[in-house]
Structures are given as C-alpha cells and as structure tokens.
Structure 1
C-alpha cells in the first residue's frame, strides 16, 4: 500500500477536501488527509498525506506557511476577498512608500479578528453558515505571528496586474487569515482593501518546487513514485539511529528507552538498525520516548 506525502499544486475552485477525494481514487487508498486548508480561490502548496503517513498530519498543520497575496485597495467586501459582495468602494491615493509604512504594525505577534466567512465554530455552527444566513456574531481576537511581510516589485508569474493592486509575500504562523490581513491593511490605509488572489508557496516545510499538478499526477505511470517519504515531514529534526535490535524492539513496542549516550534534549527522527524510519520521539536526558510511531504494524 502507498505511504508518503504528495505535494499538490492546488488549482483554483477546488477545495482541499476535493483534492483528497480525487487522490483516494488515484492511489486506491482511503487513508488520505491534507496538511492545511486552502480556500477554493487559492492555489499552491497543499501537502497531502497518504496511508500511514496520515499520522503526520497533526504536525504538518503546525508549521510556518508562506503565501503570495494580491491586495486590491479601495474595495471592502463581506468575505474580505474579491469573490464576496462589495460593501463599499473608496478612492485610492496610496503609493509604495505609504503601503510600506502601513505594513510595519502587522509584522511580528499580532491579534486578528477571524472573518465571519471562516470554518471556525460557534455553538456548533461554522461561522460561514451563520454569515450566509445573514447573521454576524462577535469574534474574539486571536494571536498569530507574521514572520515576514514584504511588497513585491511586480506581479508574480500567474498573477494579473490590476489597478490599485499590490502583491505581498507573507510568511506566517498557523491560524493566520491572509484575507483578514489584507482587509486590515486596507483599513489602516483608510481606503479599504480585499484579497484578490492567493498562492501558497510553502507549507509544512514543502515548497512549490516540489509540487505537482493533478494533471501531472494523473499522467504519471506510477503515482506512488511521486510520494515523498513520511520522514521528510520532520526534516528539521535531527536523526537518531538505533544501534541494536533490542533498542529497536523497545521502540516498536512503545517502551521508553534508556540511551547509552545523551544526544541532547529535543525531538528526533528515530530509525531502526536497517535505517527504516520508526518514529518521531523525544529525548530528555538519556531517556527516549515515542511521540508518534510511523512503521507498519
């Protein structure tokens, strides 16, 4: 059975769940999950986990993400992007210097009020369901981190240059709404703003260079050959190779292991004596405990 991670360059109009449904058919595998939802209007990096690799989904969604976003100034919509209903239009007198100046307060640790058109639940109902019913409820600000926010010199490939539209590179934490960021920047400039396009360029440590389109995947003689090994999801953790079959047996049985030498506290990719990836584990002192196992039982 196939096990691993496929990086899909998600097309517009597809939901992340649409992609998973398509891949269940391609790989003939029910166990499929994605590493971070993309709105239908968005394109770009969608890591999809196949087979036993689905055990890594929870770790993939935690990491930093990078996007290129179109910021259309002078328009305010109910969805905070240009697919929504226009609520207000305002004249725009913003140059690059003014935009650059407005970005400074949005870098670092900030608070965002989630949009009504989001999948966050309130009293068992998703906010977008309430929004479609014409209801608006109070949302509490949530902390997110903007690690990088810069104005690009010109429209990136695949983006259409439009009047009063700027293009931003955004590097951010889990839970960040880029369309809310665009809306809030527009408010700070006084003319309003909405997200006009979104392309994710990195998620879970995977980049666009590693992504394939659905068409490329469907045309592949062996789709499983395009899978990245599951341990690639933990490439930022150091490797720990077990030295004996006895130590490997303990890890396979979920038993804490005392290491002969302390490699340093932290999380490790743990491999058996034959270099098979076994688990993501934690070391404290010289004690090794399993966080999550990935070997086939």
Structure 2
C-alpha cells in the first residue's frame, strides 16, 4: 500500500471526489481521501492522503488557506458565484476605488459568516446543496471565521482581483457576497484558485496527468510527501528493540536509555529501528512514560 500525501493541482471541471476516484484508478489503491472540497469551477491546491496518511486528513483540513479570487460587484446569485442564477443586478457606476478598498479591508480579522446554501455542510444528515437543489432554504447559524489578510491586486470595476488568506471553514463565495452587501450593490465570486493549504503551495502541485506519468515511470516516491512531513516540528525519537513491541501495539512505555527527557505533555514522533515513522506519542512527566496519541503504521502494514 502507498502511504503519503500528494499535492494535487485540481483542474477546473473536476469535483474533489472526481480527483479521489481518478487517483484510485491511477494508484490501484482504495484507501485515499481528500482534505476539504473545492468547487468544480475552482482550481488549485487539493492535498490528497493515501494509506495511513488518511488519518491526518482532518489535520490538513484545519490548516489556513490562501486563495486568489475575482469579485464581481453588481450581481447577486443564488450560489454566490457566477455559476448560479442571477437574483439581482445593480449598477456600480457610483462606486469609487477607495470605497471598494475600504469595504473589502473591513473584513480582515474575525467575522461571523453564514455558510451558503450551496455547500457540503449537513443539516439533519442532509447536505445543504441537496436541499438547495430541491428549492429549500434552511436557517444556518453564523460561524466565526478569520480573514488573516486581503491583498487587493487590481480594481477594474465591476471586478476586483484579490488574494485572501483565511482560516478553515471560510467560504470565499460568501466573502464576495458579503462585500457586495456592504457596498449595497451585491457581489459574487467570478473565479477562484487555491494557492496554498498550510505549507503546501501551488508552485509544487501536480496535475492528475503528471501524477499518472510518475506512477507509470515508477517515480511516485519522488513527489509523495511522507506522513511525518507535517510533524517535523515535533521531537524525533527512535526506540530500541525492547520498546518496539509496545510501540507496534500502541501501548504506553518508558525508555530507560533516553538521554534527554521531553517536557511534560510534549508530543513526539516515534520511529522503529529501521527509521520508519510509526506514531505520535505524548510524554507524561509524572509517570515518565510515553502514551499513544495517534498511530500511523504498525508491523502488519
């Protein structure tokens, strides 16, 4: 089985599920998961986890993200992007660049964002977009999101090109809609490209075609990020023969020969004697034992 993370460049026209399905065919492996959806019209970075790396899908989903987007002012749609049905069109001829900049930059920092109806969030076990397609609208609670930074690259009204860095759970479509609301003209998202998820950038991403070429040439390991890549900030510990049997079973244990003890409750990366990353453990200063946090590999994989 293949274990690791692929930095995939999702092209327009594919759903995130399409990408997973195609990679299952390319790698001949079922255990694959994605880390947060991108709409079919959007493109850019989509981290894909294979094998034991699927256990960190939620961790990658929680990372901050950066997008490049085009805001179209003067148009409101039911999907909050240009793919939806137009609900209202208004003139933007009265707007000035300074007014637009001021309204946009007000969204930097924390703000309460109401998720769009056309989203994959679930209400009573049903996805919102499924309800929306049935013509239903349900009340959604606002969620706190953080806009870390907005760089306005160009303004040619009614369009604004900008780069947005934000927290998990932020809908750029909704941000565009909300900016239009503040300006009183309405607004929607015209284009979207995700350029960063955590430390994964678009510069190092690969299309499905490029990944398939690596697979056929037997060079997939050259582009596959190891599971422990995202835990490099944690201390690395290699266990001895006596501790390996406890490590493989996820049991707690102590290491008598350890020269430098970790801090209490410190997370560490555990490796077997062959140098394979096995698990994350947390050190207990009280008992001087390492306790399981999350298992990734064991001797049966």
User: TM-score, normalised on structure 1?
Assistant: 0.90
CA contact (8 A) 1:47 1:204 kept: no
Report the equivalent of 1:167: 161
| Corresponding residue of 2:180 | 186
Checking the alignment, whether the CA contact within 8 Å between 1:217 and 1:223 is kept in structure 2 is no
Q: Which residue among 244, 250, 257 is the counterpart of 2:253?
A: 257
In structure 2, relative to structure 1, the CA distance for the partners of 1:163 and 1:189 (3 Å cut) is closer
Instruction: Tell me what 1:127 maps to.
Output: 128
Please list, as runs of the form range in 1=range in 2, the aligned pairs for 1:139-218 lying within 5 A after superposition: 139-153=140-154, 164-218=158-212
Relative to 1, partners in 2 of residues 1:97 and 1:5: Cα closer, same or farther, differing over 3 Å? Answer: same
Match of 2:80? 80
Counterpart contact for 1:130–1:136, Cα < 8 Å: yes
Q: After superposition, what is the alpha-carbon deviation per residue over 1:153-181, rounded to whole angstroms, capped at 9, x for unaligned?
A: 48xxxxxxx75211221111211111001
Q: Which runs of 5+ in 2 are unaligned?
A: none
Q: State the SS of the aligned residue for 2:106.
A: helix
CA RMSD in angstroms comes to: 2.0
Please give the per-residue CA displacement for 1:242-282, whole angstroms capped at 9, x wherever unaligned.
35332343222212233544323443333233322111233
Q: Distance in 1 between matches of 2:27 and 2:210?
A: 14
Instruction: Give the aligned partner of residue 17 of structure 2.
Output: 17
SS across alignment from 1:40 = coil
**What displacement does 1:223 show?**
5.5
* Residue of structure 2 equivalent to 1:64: 64
Would the aligned equivalents of 2:211 and 2:220 in 1 still touch at CA under 8 Å? no
Structure 1 residues without counterparts, runs of 5 or longer = 155-161
**Quick one: structure 1 residues 287 and 193, their matched pair in 2 at CA, closer, same or farther if it must change by over 3 Å?**
farther
Q: CA deviation at 1:230?
A: 1.3
For the structure 1 residues 97 and 280, does the alpha-carbon distance in structure 2 shift closer, same or farther, using more than 3 Å as the test?
A: farther
Of residues 94-103 and 170-179 in structure 1, the stretch that sits farther from structure 2 once superposed is 94-103
Residue 75 of structure 1 contacts residue 88 of structure 1 at CA under 8 Å; is this kept in 2? yes
Task: Show structure 1 runs of 4+ deviating over 4 A.
Answer: none
Asked if the contact 1:241–1:273 (Cα under 8 Å) also holds between the matched residues in 2, the reply is no
Task: Tell me which residue corresponds to 2:273.
Answer: 273
**Separation in structure 2 between the aligned mates of residue 137 and residue 177 of structure 1, nearest angstrom:** 18
The corresponding residue for 1:246 is 242
Listed one character per residue, the Cα deviations across residues 190-249 of structure 1 (whole Å, up to 9, x for unaligned) are 1111011111111142111221011212223125232111112334x3232235332343
> Structure 1 288/108 Cα, relative in aligned 2: closer, same or farther at 3 Å?
farther
Whose Rg is larger?
2
